[in-house]
A and B are shown apart, each in its own frame.
Chain A
Amino acid sequence: MKVLVAVKRVVDYNVKVRAKADGSDVDLNNVKMAINPFCEIAVEEAVRLKEAGVASEVVVVSVGEKSCQEQIRTALALGADRGIQVETEGAVEPLVVAKLLKGVVEKEQPQLVILGKQSIDGDNNQTGQMLGALANMAQGTFASEVKVDGDAVSVTREVDGGLQTVKLKLPAIVTTDLRLNEPRYASLPNIMKAKKKQLDVFSPADLGVEVKSHLTQLRVEPPAERQAGIKVASVDELVDKLKNEAKVI
């Protein structure tokens, strides 16, 4: 079984992001970039499936500028077999990414596609679902457990009311939640091996997709600073303030 994993290059989760002075975008100058944490969980799950003998090949794909090859190499160091970069310029919105991934799915014919549920930069939580619709594949989103059984996959989903398990017929799409697994570190020998693994580059035209934007980013600004709280002397005072000042009860 071939598994396709999509990864995105994002600002490292430890970095405190800042808006550019002119408010046009997030300032990415000299900022550490990394694999989106949810995508890293997706890679780990695919590699575990391979180690368990369920998957035969793990192909990792990323959409972006040449710099995203760094994240593909990291995924290869984590255990993926082969990489694909779909080379684009500038910001690409989720619908375009989903269309490009559909092109890769048609080329590679994977049985299982694993994506992070969302990226920590845009927080859109859209690409996996859009890909499911475009490729007409079953989808199990927000997965906290994945079990492949024959030609089906059981996905336990983290939903508001608790856990929900769905059984999908392969080929299918899974998007990962935080508790699915704990990704490993890339060892130094595997980092060296990753440099020799195959990495193919496609253009959107190769996949028959036209990159066009339907969204315009108007302004980026930091959230308002949180004001300091106050201490109240009694429950009565608290209730009074909630009722008359905050007007929440």
Chain B
Amino acid sequence: MDFTFSEDQLLFRDSVRDFLVNEVTPERIRGIWESDSGRDDGLWQQLAEMGLTGITVAEEHGGLGMNELDFVLLAQECGYVALPEPLVNTALVAVPVISQLGGEVAAQWLPQIAAGETRVAVGCRENGLAEDAAQSGLLLWAEPEALYLLTPEQFSARFNESVDPSRRLYAVDIADGVAPVASGEQAAALYRAVLDRGALGAAAQALGLAQRMIDISVQYTGERQQFGKVIGSFQAVKHHMANVAVRLEYAKAPVTRAAYALAHAEPAEVAVSHAKLVACEAANLAAKNSIQVHGAMGYTWEVDLHIFMKKAWAMAGTFGDTGFHKQRVAEFIFADSVALGAGTTFG
């Protein structure tokens, strides 16, 4: 069995990486933080022109019809640049959920999302807050009992500060009398889908963030000199980053596995929780060790490292924190019906 990514998937990743690294610079992110809306409409338009807003939208609705496995590499690139725009939630959560709703809802919204005309925000009860709710033309709000697709006049949003200035978080109050688009068992299933998809997106971004923090730290320790040598030549410094690199490498396969499960409609809960736990652990370790090798300067506003560090912390807490995902893995392992052992690895 060939587990490698296809040539096309890697070509897309490289193209998106070139675009994001050149266009989403730390300077631009700082500019976005200082803007009134906290968003850059020009950047969203650029993402749409690249075809990224429609990447998981079906071709019949003007998209590229790609799946979670195709997108997971691109989500890592979004993490690598700490993309402030909610592209990952759009492509990995909102579009598949609206597609599942199908019918008129899909026909109305998916072409607009693909064309970049409508931004869609995603929120759920587990998160409590919805990122970009006030900046979007559509809010997908998920609860276990009901799923809502809300236009701006159907809800009010109160701003809540995030540890990551790139994230604009809002508490949402739905107006009286607004009907959900799904309820009962359908809503429960979609709520789980929102959680799993959102967690996979956060995990993939965490991988990219960890890689970026390694790259920043390796560059810095290759330039900063002490005792007449670059500090990166000292074993104690080297090991800090080597430990992160190892942790990151081992986190990649679970993230890919989780994307595969979602792309092939397999039970994905445990795979997603595994992915979220290990990817966010790798990103947290990258943040911690990067601060160390920067000599605490990494925590300051002037050094770009904090852009990625804060995003990594935010990703760890969104769509289920560590406790939530450990609980899911524990419930799976301790269930009487669980099939464990080498013989069931690929079962």
Contacts and interface: CB of A to CB of B under 8 A. Distances in A.
Nearest to B55: A188
Interface residues of B, number: 13
A186 B18 CA distance: 10
Contacts of A195: 8
Interface range on chain A (Cβ under 8 Å from partner): under 10
B18 A189 contact: no
B151 interface: no
A185 B64 contact: no
A191 interface: yes
Closest 4 CB pairs of A and B: A188-B51, A189-B51, A187-B51, A185-B19
Interface in B36-67: 49-52, 55, 64
B6 to A, nearest CB: 12
Contacts of B50: 185, 187-188
Interface string A150-194: 000000000000000000000000000000000001111111100
17 contacts: A185-B15, A185-B18, A185-B19, A185-B50, A186-B15, A187-B49, A188-B12, A188-B15, A188-B16, A188-B50, A188-B52, A188-B64, A189-B51, A190-B51, A191-B12, A192-B64, A195-B8
Contacts of B18: 185
Most central of A185, A190, A195 by chain B CB within 10 Å? A185
Interface in A111-161: none
A6 to B, nearest CB: 22
Interface in B3-45: 8, 11-12, 15-16, 18-19
Contacts of A186: 15
A192 B11 CA distance: 10
B69 to A, nearest CB: 15
Contacts of A188: 12, 15-16, 50-52, 55, 64
A185 B8 CA distance: 17
Nearest to B74: A188
Contacts of A185: 15, 18-19, 50
Nearest to A14: B21
A237 B346 CA distance: 77
A196 to B, nearest CB: 13
B116 to A, nearest CB: 12
B95 to A, nearest CB: 15
Given A186-B15, A188-B12, 14 more contacts: A185-B19, A187-B49, A187-B50, A187-B51, A188-B15, A188-B50, A188-B52, A188-B55, A188-B64, A189-B51, A190-B51, A191-B15, A192-B64, A195-B8
Nearest to A194: B11
Given A185-B18, A185-B19, A191 B11 contact: yes
A186 B17 CA distance: 12
Contacts of A191: 11-12, 15
Contacts of A187: 49-51
A191 B14 CA distance: 12
Most central of B8, B11, B19, B51 by chain A CB within 10 Å? B11
B212 to A, nearest CB: 15
B118 to A, nearest CB: 19
A7 B122 CA distance: 44
Contacts of B15: 185-186, 188, 191
A188 B18 CA distance: 12
Interface in A175-226: 185-192, 195
A51 to B, nearest CB: 14
